[in-house]
Every structure is written in C-alpha cells, then in structure tokens.
Amino acid sequence: MKLQKTLFTLLFALAAVASAQEPDFRGIVRSGGQMPSIAVPDIRGLVGTENESTFNTTLWNDLDASGQLRMVSKSFYPRTAPRRAEDIQPTGDNLPVDPGDRGLWLVGWSDPPVSARYLVFGALEQSSDRLVLNGFVYDATLEPVQAAYVFGKRYYGTLDEKGAQTIAHDFSRDILQSLGLGTGLAGSRIYFRSDRSGFPEIWSMDYDGQNLKQHTNYKNIVMTPAVSPDGTRLAFTTFVEGQPKIYIHSLETGRKLTFYNQDASLNTTPDFLADGKSLVYASSMAGPTQLYMADLDGRNLRRISYSRTIDVDPVVNPKTGSQIAFTSGRSGIPQIYLMDIDGANVRKLSGGEGDAVQAAWDPKGEQIAFSWTRGFEPGNYNIFVMNVASQQLVQLTHGAGRNEHPVFSPSGTHIVFDSNRSGGTQLWTMRADGGQPRRLTTQGKNTEPIWAIR
C-alpha cells in the first residue's frame, strides 16, 4: 500500500510500525419541502441597554446558519415592530394603507413585500445587574391574534457582550425547536487540532469560528480529539511521553483525568460510547493494531476487532450505541467497515476503489460521512455521505483540493471538514447536502474537527 503524507496515513503508518513491533412548545413543521420564511426585526430596549447590536447580530446569524429558515431581508420590513404581545393589533378597518405603517399588524408581516410566515419580536431590558429578553414568535399568517401565538419566554444574561450572545443563542434554539426544526447550531463547539501556537494542540471555537480557546499545552504532537456526548470530557492522542498514548481532560476544569494506557507502541483514535461511560480506541498491545473498549479510566479492557491487519478510527453510532464504523486495511487498502458493538457482524461499507477513511455518523445514526479517493489521484480526498441501510452514496465535494475529516453538526444539518482548497489546510463548514461552503479558520494549519453540543 502506498502511504500518502497526510495525518491519517501517518497514523496508518504508525499502526503498521506498531504492529510489526508488537419549554412546552407547539411543533410546526415545514410544508411542501420548502423552508419557512421568517422576519426577525431588530429587538430594542425599553430602557437603555448595551450590546443590542451584539444580540441582534447573533440572533440573526444563528437562525440563518441553521439552514432551516428563509430569512426575509430587513429592507422589506415595516418601519416599526411590536415589542410586547399586547402591541399586536387585530386586523380591521383601522389597518393603515401604507404597508410601511403596518408593523403592529400581523398582516404587515405576512403580506407583500415581507411575505413572512413567522415573526420574531420582543424587548431587551436592564434589570438590576442582568440583561433580560422578553422574546416572542407568532405565526403571522393566522388570525385571530390568539391563534397566531407560537411561544413567548423570558431570558436572562449578564450585562456584557457574552451575556447578549448567550441569550441570543438560547432564544434562537427555542425558536427552531418551537417550529419543529431541531436545535440549530447555536451553542455548539467545534474542537480541532491546530498548530497556531507553534505546536499541534487541541483548540475549540463556536460554530461560526468565534470565541477561540486552547485546551492543551503539551508543546508536542497532539491529535485525534474526541468529545464525550455530554460535552464534559475531551479525549485525544499525544506523543508527550514518547510513544502515542490516550489522554483525557475534563472540559469543566481543564485538568487531566486518569486513563490507564496499555503497554503498547500505539494507543490512539479514541471515541466515546453513546452513553459516555466507556471508550473505544485502537491499540497495538497484541500485535496488529486492533480495536478495544475500556472504561473511562482504562480499566475493564476488552478486544472487539480480530483481523490480521490494521483497524483504526472507530466511531460509535450516537443514536443506537450498537454499531461501530471504523477504517481497516483488511482488504488491502483502507476502507470503511461496520460492525456490532461487540465486534460481530463485520461488513464493508465503501466500494473498494481508492482509499476510504475517517468515518463519522450523523446524529440520527443513519448516515456516515467519510473521505474517499474513489476515482481520483491517490491522496486527493473528497467527502461522501452514505445511507447505511440503503447504501445510497452522495458525493459532497468535487475537485476543490483535498477534503478530509468530515463530521456532522449536532443538529445534523451541517458538516465541518478540513480542506486545502484555499492553500493551507483550514476548517470549513457546509450544509449536509454539500451546499454553502464557508471557511472558519485562517491562522496556522487546522485539521481533525469534532463538532460537539458545547
């Protein structure tokens, strides 16, 4: 097998060497397959408040980034918007002739030129040492006003930019949930490997690339991050002790937690089980690098793969917890395989032409994204998604450099990946259908993203 100089093939080469050595919401779903339209006028303060711009920008971006709504341009909005539920006027003879004056009537938002299905409105207040939002969502197409109510809720945050962002994230999630559209991207974090500090360490950022944070500082090779389902633990591989070992950190305290590494030349590619109580990873402890399962401290070890070649990169079905997808060289070149959690019922998913690596499940446990050189020059990976049940395959990237390490967002609506399409290797997101690619990082080399709930 010809090894390419990528992170995965380095890992595969290491494995080869090691083996040789020894709220109560009303659900409203979209109709006709079309995204519902929504108007989101700027929410102002009843009294003087700071960070209004931060709040409104964050709310708009969260809803827009969800990919689940059609955001109506603010240029079409009436000149005023309601702040309280009692501001909304019933349609009648007092309806202004000028559409620009109809902001307190729901038809002013549902009729042209706005033509929105839903209206978001509210008011920001400063109460003692807290920022308070009274937020509402109404179905602008319904009458009377009482029938149009979708939900209303009060939110609290600190009197700073972070507080404004937090309540905007919370409000956006509730808006999406109230419309039966999932949770969106707000509040989720992307963990990744970056050399921006001089060494490859683990960092994280918000879904939009903001609020960067460094999580490791070993000044050595750190790679293959994984985050527990509840967002409290970070597992990764590090060479800080010489041979690659698995470390686990608490994301709440930042401290290193106890994990017993088996005596092996390689322990790597950890992933948490769906219940968050165990870890699956690859180790060369018994010769060829195989897959093992252990408790979160490394105890209660059991082997779950048995091949005469290299098995690495296990990822557990997050919905059922009963299946593991992984990469194996048992067919001669790396391919994606699937097996039961106990190692039974092994079968190949990828077609066999070219290298297929780096599997990742969608949150529903129905699809797997992976990188594949199928039909391309070796090393020029593109991203594919396969429905596990039907084995229907969709190619998401096409000839835009090398695209690797695809991972679904917690909402399942987007995929984060690394790509050298812009020169250096950076992180990008796209919709789960391959549309709307967006670059997130610019500094250093950034790879191996993991998308977590927080």
Which token pair is 69? 């709504």
DSSP classification of residue 45:
B
Res 27: pLDDT = 39
- What average pLDDT does the segment 97-123 reach? 95
pLDDT, position 17 = 58
**What is the C-alpha to C-alpha distance for residues 121 and 114, in angstroms, rounded to an integer?**
15
Cα 335–Cα 339–Cα 343 angle in degrees, nearest 5: 120
| Mean of pLDDT over the chain | 90
Average pLDDT, stretch 135-152?
94
**Helices first, then strands: H and E counts in the chain:** 5, 29
Read off the pLDDT of residues 155-193 as tens digits, 9 standing for 90 and up. Answer: 999 988 889 999 999 999 999 999 998 878 988 999 999
**Is 219 a residue whose pLDDT tops 50?**
yes
Which of the four CATH numbers 3.40.109.10, 2.120.10.30, 3.30.300.30, 3.40.50.12280 does domain 7-20+185-452 have?
Answer: 2.120.10.30
How confident is residue 416, by pLDDT bands cut at 50, 70 and 90? very high
Superfamily the domain 37-178 falls into: TolB, N-terminal domain (3.40.50.10070)
Q: What is the pLDDT of residue 50?
A: 66
Cα–Cα distances in Å, from 146 out to 80, 83, 140? Answer: 21, 16, 11
More confident residue, 333 or 417: 417
The pLDDT of residue 353 is 83
The yes-or-no verdict on residue 47 having pLDDT over 80 is: no
Sign of CA dihedral 247, 311, 418, 230: negative
Strand partners, 281: 292
Largest CA distance in the chain: 87
Could you report how far apart the first and last alpha carbons of the chain are, in Å? 39
- Give the pLDDT confidence score for residue 22 in this predicted structure: 42
Q: What is the pLDDT of residue 19?
A: 54
**Bigger pLDDT: 340 or 51?**
340
Query: To which residue do tokens 């019922």 refer?
Result: 345
Range with lowest mean pLDDT among 24-38, 196-210, 283-297, 428-442: 24-38
- Of 3-12, 107-116, 350-359, the range with the highest mean pLDDT is 107-116
Percent of the chain with pLDDT over 90: 77
User: pLDDT, tens digit, for every residue of 65-82?
Assistant: 888 899 999 999 999 999
pLDDT classification of 28: cutoffs 50, 70, 90: very low
Residue ranges covered by each domain of the chain: 7-20+185-452, 37-178
Distance CA 158, CA 287 (A): 55
Q: State the pLDDT at residue 186.
A: 87
pTM above 0.75, yes or no: yes
Structure-token pair, residue 283: 């180790």
Query: What pLDDT, on a 0 to 100 scale, did the predictor assign at position 46?
Result: 60
Residue 20: which pLDDT band, with cuts at 50, 70 and 90?
Answer: low
Question: Residues 271-288: what's their mean pLDDT?
Answer: 95
The full DSSP string for 51-70 is: -HHHHHHHHHHHHHHTSSSE
